[in-house]
Amino acid sequence: MKKHLFYQTGTLSAFILKKDRFRLPIWIISIVLLTIVTAGAFNDLYKTDQERQAIAETMKNPAMIAMVGPGYGFDDYHTGAMMAHQMLLFTAIMVAIMSILLVTRHTRADEEDGRLELIRSLPTGRLANLSSTIFVMCVTYLVLAVAVGISLYALQEESLTFQGSLLYGAALGATGIFFTAITALMAQLSETSRGTIGYSFAFLGGAYLLRAVGDVSNETLSWFSPLGWILGTETYVNNYWWPIVLTAFVSAVIMVVAFYLNSIRDVGSGFIQAKPGKEYATSGLLSTLGLPLHLLKTLIISWAIGMFVLGVSYGSVFGDLDTFFESTEMMEELLNPVEGFSLTEQFLALLMSIISMLCTIAPLLMFLKLRGEEKKGRLEHVTARAVSRTRIIGSYLVIGLVGAVVMQLLAMLGLWTAVVSVMEDPISLRTMFQAAIAYVPAMWVMVAIAAFLVGWAPRWTNLIWLYLGYSFFVVYLGGMLQAPEWMGKISPFGNVTQIPIADMNWLQIISLLVIALVVSLLGITGFRKRDLEG
């Protein structure tokens, strides 16, 4: 490609760094701190070989393999092996999400909002915007890789070797660069930022599911997933560097394709063209509820399918759990069995909390579409007519609340469908329904907090994602890391009774519902009083 196509890449790179002078450090520091805290907790929590081997046994069952990947180093399950096995995949997913959001922000979102056209009117190269985005992200992930590697080695734990620590950081950096390339490609295919994010997350979800199925049933399938490549490094045990080289090579190829597509398309267009709308709007589009439903229909359908598939993928491993639990004394001791309930039912309680938090992403995206419409100046056209702000935010709130129920029930239905087909004595539909529905009030609290932020602090709406991430950390890892109980209680998901090992706590349910109602009303009040932002 000719050099003039990249003219002013350096200037635009500096501009991106200035725009993200807070975002990038927050992302990097959060990931580094999460890594250090978790590694230190593993080291303090499992001090003897017997304790480490006990946790190693729990990680050999198909359900855990589907979640975190195949284990390695089980014969000597030291802190390094434990850290890489249980945390590398989830941290890599966090890095991938970082790439998707930031790359979309500086490519398709800027193009959609007209900022790219303004930049193109200046003496800049045709590919300068894309190249500057990729350059900044690659440098960011090099910094992240080095920071993570040095931080882990600085813990001075014997098993956290220098080479293994650098490889751990390199695995995260390579993941970030790969999904930078993927998102850059999706930005050429889609005509909108919403489509770019949707396609990129669909790719991430597909990569995770393909790896999960492959790790449980057919190892070859895992090697078709970039997440499988990262786990193939076997960090802190065998320390294979070639998967990093493979990831970098494939990333470079995808970037070249993205550059080529960007060079031959017009500003504002995409290779996957949106279907033209109807000449005249239907009656549904003329309502404050019908319009956002129309705008969100692709997101709703794709997430609905995704949540059902997620439930099926987790449910498919339940058939092997009873045998595994019965044959493993250390597993029974570790789980501290509850009288009258099988270990599989106890595992269902933990799994349902994880599924619920994943299902919460969709209703949050649905509601936060309101904030996106406001930032683009489209709400002004609606409020200029005889439409109250209460009806506008109320419509998005209803969609988010109903969406939470739909996603949760679809995931539960997928889970139950798979469980029935693989277990001789399956868990009843009623039990699964109760376990799923118990988390709905907690999901509603999350949507209500998003409404509060939109109403009173619209520029801080992204804090809801940090709160959801915190909830996942304390609920999923809190017990394993022996975090204080009060940390779990800060999250609404930490205040839900785990069914079926406990009865439905109606006081908790009512309390969460009241909190959701009050916080929602406060959010609506704030939205009515403040000025709209363009």
pLDDT digits (tens, 9 = 90+) for 361-393: 999 999 999 998 888 788 888 888 878 899 999
Same domain, residue pair 155 and 228: yes
Same domain, residue pair 238 and 193: yes
Same domain, residue pair 419 and 294: yes
By mean pLDDT, which of 5-14, 92-101, 216-225, 313-322 is the weakest?
Answer: 313-322
d(CA 227, CA 235): 14
- In a domain, residue 489? The reply is yes
Same domain, residue pair 36 and 11: yes
**Domain encompassing residue 432:** 284-534
Residue 327 pLDDT grade (very low, low, confident, very high; cuts 50, 70, 90): very low
Same domain, residue pair 343 and 483: yes
Residue 318 pLDDT grade (very low, low, confident, very high; cuts 50, 70, 90): confident
Same domain, residue pair 384 and 249: no
Residue 455, judged by CB atoms within 10 A of its CB (0-12, 13-18, 19+), counts as: buried
Position 333 scores a pLDDT of 47
Contact yes or no for 398/295 (Cβ under 8 A): no
- Closest-CA residue to 74 (of 86, 57, 89): 57
Tell me which long-range contacts 385-389 makes (C-beta under 8 A, separation of at least 24). 387/288, 388/528, 389/527, 389/528
Average pLDDT of the segment spanning 325-337: 50
Same domain, residue pair 102 and 229: yes
Choosing from 236, 267, 298, the residue where a domain stops is 267
> Residue 531 gets which letter from DSSP?
P
Where do we find the tokens 């039912």? 345
What are the tens digits of pLDDT across the range 147-164?
999 999 998 888 889 999
d(CA 471, CA 442): 11
What are the tens digits of pLDDT across the range 397-439?
999 999 999 999 999 999 888 888 777 777 888 888 999 999 9
- In a domain, residue 160? The reply is yes
Phi, psi of 512 (to 5 degrees): -65, -40
- In a domain, residue 274? The reply is no
Same domain, residue pair 296 and 263: no
Q: Which helix (H) or strand (E) holds 395?
A: helix 389-422
What are the tens digits of pLDDT across the range 443-486?
999 999 999 999 999 989 988 988 998 888 888 766 656 667 78
- In a domain, residue 504? The reply is yes
Same domain, residue pair 291 and 209: no
Same domain, residue pair 293 and 407: yes
Choosing from 242, 267, 292, the residue where a domain stops is 267
Same domain, residue pair 215 and 319: no
On whether the pTM is more than 0.85, the answer is no
Number of domains in the chain: 2
Mean pLDDT over all residues of the chain?
86
Residue 330 pLDDT grade (very low, low, confident, very high; cuts 50, 70, 90): very low
- In a domain, residue 309? The reply is yes
